[in-house]
Chains A and B, each alone.
Chain A
Amino acid sequence: MDPAAGSGALWVGLRRRSANGEGGRGTRRVRVRCRRGPPGCRAPGTMEPAEAEFLAEKELVTIVPNFSLDRIHLIGGDLGPFNPGLPVEVPVWLAINLKQRQKCRLIPPEWMDVEKLEEIRDQERKEDTFTPMPSPYYMELTKLLLNYASDNIPKADEIRTLVKDTWDTRIAKLRLSADSFVKQQEAHAKVRWGRLERFASSVLGVFQMPCDCVGL
């Protein structure tokens, strides 16, 4: 077994011999396996919440600046010309920075609205599978936007509560399916879960499954 491949990842490898007792290679493994993650992270496959947040900051959000600036050219792409009073789309990291310097006003994303979130929360509670969330980074975006720009977002506290409720329901489903995955001795959890965000899997640490799961 290649030591480098095993470094950091935690494997539970239990082989089960085939029922006829023949000691050949007809064995099945049960393993709890870590998903691939960005290189250089702590264990091949798991991601910390802080890393998930870093990736979330690349998402685009609309702001209304109060200054003017020509188009700026960055390695990752261009950020459009800024004119006071005209909405423009920028990545979240820039939006937060401008907001902290009081140079813009944030416009909440369209899914960050009380009725929509209530709908999503109710649907999550009804269904056994994971409902598709409006953004793969809804947890991080909620935390960032509500921490730095809660004055621009109407009913911020309710939104925070709704997102937390949805999150709790999803995590409970994740734990339940992790448990039944192990009980049923699946070789891989090839189960489709809708879109399970990386953030949820980072919380479970090593208990996470490979991404795609078919409805349990």
Chain B
Amino acid sequence: MSEAYFPVGPGLGLEENFLSLDDILMSQEKLPGRAESTLPRLAFALGQGAGAGSGDSIPEGSKLEIPLWLAKGLHDSKRRIISMELPKIYKEAWRTVFSADANVVDLHKMGPYYYGFGSQLLNFDNPENPEIAQTILQTFISRFRRIMDSSQNAYNEDTSALVARLDELERALFRAGQKGLNDFQCWEKGQASQITASSLVQNYGKRKFTDMDG
């Protein structure tokens, strides 16, 4: 019935939770950028490939794809090291797609952490930030109803078709809705008051009482 432990959830808005697995995975997503100054001896870590021998420096102005956690660390207001651009799904073209109809977009394919990553992008000073924030918000609002309805009405069904196009945050919401529904149905059937072995104990491999001889 109750869970054995409480995982740390993802952070709110522009903050990240250090201990949250979702946030860690989310910040691994890459975003495009350029090196603003020469980065000596970093070609092996950030470089594009075998062209540069190890030990060479990254020339100024070359394009890079770096993960979010690194981008946040290297970004500063004087912008001497790196300048970041928006990934394409947060740009103007896709923003109009989202505002047209957000329900048809496959958010899982677009980077499974659309909302979290988008919120983190607001950390970088970018003149388009208000529009990005607005788009993310509106996308969530338009998709929310469908998630709520489908999670509350799919009982004992295969939900993979419903969940396939949702990003991670929406999937968590969906799972919560399913849990509420399953708990209610289980209560209605009277199974809630039956005692079952805890999932932790079942894995211990202790011999059951009936198996003991003598």
Contacts and interface: CB of A to CB of B under 8 A. Distances in A.
Bound together:
yes
Q: Contact size class for B?
A: 35 or more
A206 interface: yes
Interface in A16-43: 16-17, 19, 21, 23, 27, 29-32, 41-43
Given A3-B19, A17-B130, A10 B183 contact: no
A175 B176 CA distance: 15
A205 B172 CA distance: 12
A185 B149 CA distance: 19
Given A6-B20, A185-B137, A175 B152 contact: yes
Contacts of B198: none
B166 interface: no
Nearest to A175: B148
Nearest to A23: B129
Interface stretch (A45-53, A58-66, A68-76, A77-85): A45-53
Interface in A70-112: none
Interface residues of A, number: 44
Nearest to A6: B9
Interface in B179-214: 179-181, 183-184, 186-188, 190, 192-193
B13 A15 contact: yes
Contacts of B119: 13-15
- Interface SS of chain B: helix
A46 B6 CA distance: 13
Given A7-B8, A10-B9, A205-B180, A23 B140 contact: no
Nearest to B119: A14
Interface of A: 1, 3, 6-17, 19, 21, 23, 27, 29-32, 41-43, 46, 48-50, 53, 143, 147, 175, 178-179, 182-183, 185, 202-207
Interface of B: 1-3, 6-15, 17-20, 115, 119, 122, 125, 127, 129-130, 133-134, 136-137, 140-141, 144-145, 148-149, 152, 169, 172-173, 176-177, 179-181, 183-184, 186-188, 190, 192-193
11 contacts: A3-B8, A3-B17, A6-B11, A8-B9, A12-B173, A14-B119, A14-B136, A14-B137, A15-B119, A21-B129, A205-B177
